[in-house]
Structure 1
Amino acid sequence: MGDNAELSGVERSAILLLSLGEDDAAEVMRYLSPKEVQKLGITMAALQRVSREEAELVLRDFRERLERMTALGVGTDQYIRNMLTKALGQDKANNLIERILHGGEASGLENLKWMDARAVAELIRLEHPQVVAMVLAYMEPDQAAEVVQFLPERLRKEALLRVATLESVQPGALRELNEIFEQQLSGSGDRVHVSSLGGIKAAADIINKLEGATSTRIMDGIKDQDGDLAQKIQDQMFVFDDLIGVDDRGIQALLRDIPSETLIFALKGANGDLRDKFFKNMSKRAAEMLRDDLEAKGPVRVSEVEGAQKEILAIAMRLEAAGQIALGGSGEAMI
């Protein structure tokens, strides 16, 4: 596969789990989130020809990290905060830190993360929009976006509007919601101790994951009701022009997965600096061919450009989830 230093955090974690054996790996998996399990599973399935030397390097690195960790309970809380923030970023880490350090659990809501998006939508579609908003805010943005696609049209805009204005929730209200879903799912669990949920960034992350036409309709609806809020959400969304901030190695990884025709349509609507960013990360011949194709393409519909850009953003986010590129300064997770 290559030098160990070039392996992403997810790949190193996958090699570690494959080295542990089925029983021990399964025991570790029990403590991971649905998103982490999915990411690791995909990476484990994609790993090919891992040499003994690479596996030994990963295991040695893991052992050295363990030896550097505190085992005395001194400064453990701060260590956990720093570790999770570095691994997941501040926004994703906050709720997890709250649950770990303060003993909070939300097993009823947590169970929803393991369900099919259509099933979750069916479960919440008749609930009050505020309840729907709390459920969406609790989920990872990509899963929440899938759920939104299956919600009735009238509910989508209202629920995401409430996600954006949702900043804190009384523990009692969340506990009650958790108990409702525990009963509906015949689950069992303990108390809920989560007070921070939702907000403009959470709404932006969900809308960012939606298909282009759907996200446009929802943003137009929010803008009609609250123009200032819509602008704040828009400011937090990752858009095609933001790819200018991805490093050259990330752009090269992205180019390997983008169909040629999709790239042509997307760059027809891109600014000059972003076009140049793509050109400089291609071979001279490929860049010249792309420039020729762009000139030969002629005028294209705005909807075609937006669709192509959304497709590329979806590829970029998939690569980020696999730990292959970093968007918006996000870092690698796992070990």
Structure 2
Amino acid sequence: MSEDELYSENLSNLERAAILLMSLGETDAAQVLKHMGPKEVQKIGLAMSQLQNVSRADVEEVLGDFLENVGEQTGLGVGADSYIRRMLSEALGEDKANGLIDRILLGGNTTGLDTLKWMEPRAVADIIRFEHPQIQAIVLSYLDSDQGAEIIRFFDPKVRLDVMLRVAALESVQPQALQELNDILEKQFSGSGGTQTTSMGGVKVVANIMNNLDSNVEGELMDAIKEIDETLGEEIEDLMFVFDNLADLDDKDLQILLREVKPETLTLALKGAEGRVQEKIFKNMSKRAAELLRDDLEAQGPVRVSEVESSQKEVLGVARRLADDGTINLASGGDEMV
């Protein structure tokens, strides 16, 4: 098998989307990207910048698959919703595509809160630094957990604790409160005329944010939460899913997860993993793949702890995506979430 064939088989959905957009040309690609949210643009932009030595066969395969999908439609405008959903889900993954799909198909407007998703975490932290902690909690609850984790890193430890406790206690927000928050951000809130409260916050949101924090920050914050409310701290821990918990997954779920993780990412992630996690993963690979992974681990020299943690978070991100779309069950190894 040639290198081109190998590369083509290993193309991720994100790489396929990047190749497709680059094949469209600057003008058409820009028209597509303007409909995407900040995370999608950042992800696909990075993928486009990292493409190297893309073979003609790769381009033809990607375009062929795209045209085949288009050909399944009965006509322009007929079945367009289902087509858009399938295309974006294939290109970006289910979790990244859902929010974007809703904005496109439902015609939602960008709100003041949405603009924060485009900003660097430090900039968002600076904007909300002097706001009331309850407003800070609403903002963190609204944003994606990984962005919230980056933002809260720039807060003082005492502020972190106060805000996270408020996020945990938050259940819903009245539309008037969201209207006021958007006024602060000098943007018009698109759904201000509604009467329904908006669900956000809660213990699960705190657990998701904690999952995305650096281990030392997460540990300090968890200790501080337990000092104030030990029961709440234990509840948060129960909802958190950390790398060592991979050893508790059912074999079938772990096998699905491993198929979605890049080999180099898995190798680096396992560098600092417990022995039981490594053995669980070896057990759920083919004999040949397990041998290659063991060899890679033994041959790999010293690596930075930050690199290991980054790879582990990447694996956990895939696991949470698969769990969110119902493909795997992160609680499958026991009676409760660990």
Per the normalisation by structure 1, the TM-score is 0.73
Question: Following TM superposition, by how much is the alpha carbon of 1:96 offset from its aligned partner in structure 2, in angstroms?
Answer: 5.8
Deviations 1:112-165 (A, max 9, x none): 122221121111111111111111122222221111110121111221222233
Question: Following TM superposition, by how much is the alpha carbon of 1:48 offset from its aligned partner in structure 2, in angstroms?
Answer: 1.4
Distance 1:95 1:124, change over 3 A: same
Partner Cα distance (1:153, 1:285) in 2: 40
8 Å CA contact 1:204–1:233 kept in 2: the answer is: yes
Is the deviation greater in 210-219 or in 240-249? Answer: 240-249
8 Å CA contact 2:244–2:274 kept in 1: the answer is: no
Which amino acid is the alignment partner of residue 322 of structure 2?
G
Counting only pairs closer than 5 Å after superposition, residues 88-99 of structure 1 correspond to structure 2 as none
8 Å CA contact 1:239–1:313 kept in 2: the answer is: no
Distance 1:37 1:78, change over 3 A: closer
Counting only pairs closer than 5 Å after superposition, residues 73-92 of structure 1 correspond to structure 2 as none
8 Å CA contact 2:36–2:100 kept in 1: the answer is: no
Report whether the alignment pairs 1:267 with 2:270: no
Which amino acid is the alignment partner of residue 291 of structure 2?
S
Q: Counterpart of 1:202 in 2: which secondary structure? A: helix
* Aligned match of 1:296: none
Which amino acid is the alignment partner of residue 204 of structure 1?
A
Distance 1:135 1:80, change over 3 A: farther
Partner Cα distance (1:164, 1:201) in 2: 8
Distance 1:22 1:40, change over 3 A: same
Report whether the alignment pairs 1:44 with 2:48: yes
Question: Following TM superposition, by how much is the alpha carbon of 1:238 offset from its aligned partner in structure 2, in angstroms?
Answer: 2.3
Q: Quick one: which of 204, 223, 228 aligns to 2:207?
A: 204
Partner Cα distance (2:115, 2:121) in 1: 12
Is the deviation greater in 149-158 or in 238-247? Answer: 238-247
Relative contact order higher in (CA < 8 Å, ≥ 6 apart): 1
Report whether the alignment pairs 1:283 with 2:283: no
Partner Cα distance (2:229, 2:102) in 1: 31
Q: Counterpart of 2:235 in 1: which secondary structure? A: helix
Distance 1:240 1:198, change over 3 A: same
Question: Following TM superposition, by how much is the alpha carbon of 1:249 offset from its aligned partner in structure 2, in angstroms?
Answer: 4.0
* Aligned match of 1:21: 25
Question: Following TM superposition, by how much is the alpha carbon of 1:94 offset from its aligned partner in structure 2, in angstroms?
Answer: 7.0
Aligned residues: 305
* Aligned match of 1:314: 310
Question: Following TM superposition, by how much is the alpha carbon of 1:59 offset from its aligned partner in structure 2, in angstroms?
Answer: 1.6
Partner Cα distance (1:70, 1:165) in 2: 49
CA RMSD of aligned residues (A): 4.0
Q: Quick one: which of 180, 185, 206 aligns to 1:181?
A: 185
8 Å CA contact 2:145–2:212 kept in 1: the answer is: yes
8 Å CA contact 2:35–2:104 kept in 1: the answer is: no
Deviations 1:198-238 (A, max 9, x none): 33332222111111111112122222333333233222222
* Aligned match of 2:334: none
In structure 1, the gaps of 5 or more residues are 183-187, 294-306
Distance 1:170 1:81, change over 3 A: farther
Which amino acid is the alignment partner of residue 225 of structure 2?
I
Counting only pairs closer than 5 Å after superposition, residues 246-261 of structure 1 correspond to structure 2 as 246-247=254-255, 248-249=258-259, 253-254=263-264, 258=268
Question: Following TM superposition, by how much is the alpha carbon of 1:196 offset from its aligned partner in structure 2, in angstroms?
Answer: 3.0
Distance 1:240 1:279, change over 3 A: farther
8 Å CA contact 2:145–2:205 kept in 1: the answer is: yes
Distance 1:20 1:93, change over 3 A: closer
Which amino acid is the alignment partner of residue 268 of structure 2?
I
Q: Counterpart of 2:322 in 1: which secondary structure? A: coil
Per the normalisation by structure 2, the TM-score is 0.73
Q: Counterpart of 1:258 in 2: which secondary structure? A: helix
Question: Following TM superposition, by how much is the alpha carbon of 1:57 offset from its aligned partner in structure 2, in angstroms?
Answer: 1.9
